[in-house]
Each structure stands twice: as structure tokens, then as C-alpha cells.
Amino acid sequence: MTIRHKILIIDDEPQIRRLIQAALTRADYATVEAGTAREALEKLRTERPDISLLDLGLPDRDGLELVPLFKQQSDTTLIIISARDATEEKVTALDLGADDYLTKPFDTDELLARVRVALRNRMTRDGGVSAVRAGDVEIDLLNRIVKKAGQEMHLTPKEYAVLAQLARFPGRVITHSQIMKHVWPNDHDHHVEYLRVLVRTLRQKLEDDPQRPQIIGNELGIGYRLRTD
């Protein structure tokens, strides 16, 4: 028997819930809906969804307040879907623990792609997979080896630390702050420019065309993601 992944849709607008529900149902996902923060927390507890799609503009509570609660109370993968498009809002949501952020209006094909990436990440995490492939680049997290087209690449410790942090969450946006806390755990506040330099040198080593990166994607003003599609 095929197990259908369950997705919780949280939005106070019924027409948006219907749009998302229809797209997910066509893709053979099971769906659950909630129109308020209170209902969302209840469905989170009773339905145990694999993925939760959270709108921030809920009538009874700001959606940002739910992000840490969701991460504390479940292992659901949390994707924000919101009309709030300010960089600060996105960074805040991701730093609080959201796994991805999609801005309204959105294309349902993009939504389904984000869902597929999220499910692959869950399988990687739950299965204990320690190697990630992005294009012709292989990242062996267990043995700390990086290869491009089968050729082992030399990375500095800091370069590897940045790449490994992205590889642990393939397809997910990792904010500048999250990466810097990992790479410079004792002093990360003033290293944004260093981070940009490291990413630039990584692209020069790993990308076929560093000016048009296909492996390490940039989320302007927010962070980076490892593209594994």
C-alpha cells in the first residue's frame, strides 16, 4: 500500500485553501486544512502532518509566533506562504525555524516543487543519508569529501564548513546568520563579507559557470540554498 504524505494547509482565506488543496490533491497528497492559529495547533497535534504550509496573516495570532511552536511541538517541515515579501520578514521566519518561504502570489508548480524538495529532505534526514548530490558535485558528509565530476576537490576548512551546512539541508534556504553561527560559532556578527567571499570561491571551484551558479543559489539579502534538483 502506498503511503500518502499528509500536508496541513493553514490560511484564513478559503479560496486560497481550495487552490492549494486542489493542486496537492492532483499530485496525490493527503490534505488537512485550518483557518486560524488555534485550529492549526490542534490539527498539528492530532493529524501529525509531514509538511505544514503556513500563512502569516491569521486572524487570531500572527503566524510568526507559530513558527517556534510548530518546531517545538512536532517534526513537521514548515513552509511559509505569505504575501509579506519584505526581506526582514523572510529572514525572521527562517531564523525562527521555518524551512522555506514562498511569497504570494505563487505558481502552484513552484509550490509542488518546494513540497517535493521538502519531502526529499525529510527522507534524507530520517534515513540517515550522509551524501548529497547537486548536479555533478557529490558531498560526502560522513567522510568530508567533495567531488566534482568524480574528481576530488580541495576546499579550505571554512569553505567546507559553509558547503556542509548547505548540504545538511539541501533545497532549503539557510540564512546568512545561520551559516555564520556554524562557521564562526564564537564570533559571527561581522563576517557577512567573509561569507560572501567564501561562497564566491566555492562557486569558482564547483560551478561550471560561476557567474550563473546552478549549485549554490542566492536568496538576495537572505542567504543561500544548495540546489539538488
Q: Provide the CATH topology of domain 6-126.
A: Rossmann fold (3.40.50)
Contact (CB, 8 A) for 64 and 93: yes
Higher model confidence: residue 127 or residue 171? 171
Between 86 and 129, whose confidence is greater? Answer: 86
Which of 10-14, 55-59, 186-190 shows the lowest mean pLDDT across its residues?
186-190
**The whole model's pTM is what?**
0.70
User: d(Cα 59, Cα 39) in Å, to the nearest integer?
Assistant: 11
- Who has greater pLDDT, 225 or 124? 225
Q: Domain coordinates of the chain in residue numbers?
A: 6-126, 130-226
Least reliable range by pLDDT among 40-49, 96-105, 182-191, 209-218: 182-191
Specify the residue for cell string 514548515. Answer: 78
Name the fold adopted by 130-226: Arc Repressor Mutant, subunit A (1.10.10)
Radius of gyration of the chain (CA): 18
pLDDT tens digits along 4-22: 789 999 999 999 999 999 9
Burial of 4 (0-12, 13-18, 19+ CB in 10 A): exposed
Give me the mean pLDDT over the 50-57 stretch.
94
Kindly report, residue by residue over 83-128, the tens digit of the pLDDT.
Answer: 988 898 899 999 898 999 999 989 999 999 999 888 877 766 655 5
pLDDT attached to residue 229 = 58
The whole-number pLDDT of residue 53 equals 97
- Output the CA–CA distances (angstroms, integers) from residue 91 to 85, 94, 156, in the order listed: 10, 5, 28
Q: How many CB atoms lie under 10 A from the CB of residue 56?
A: 23
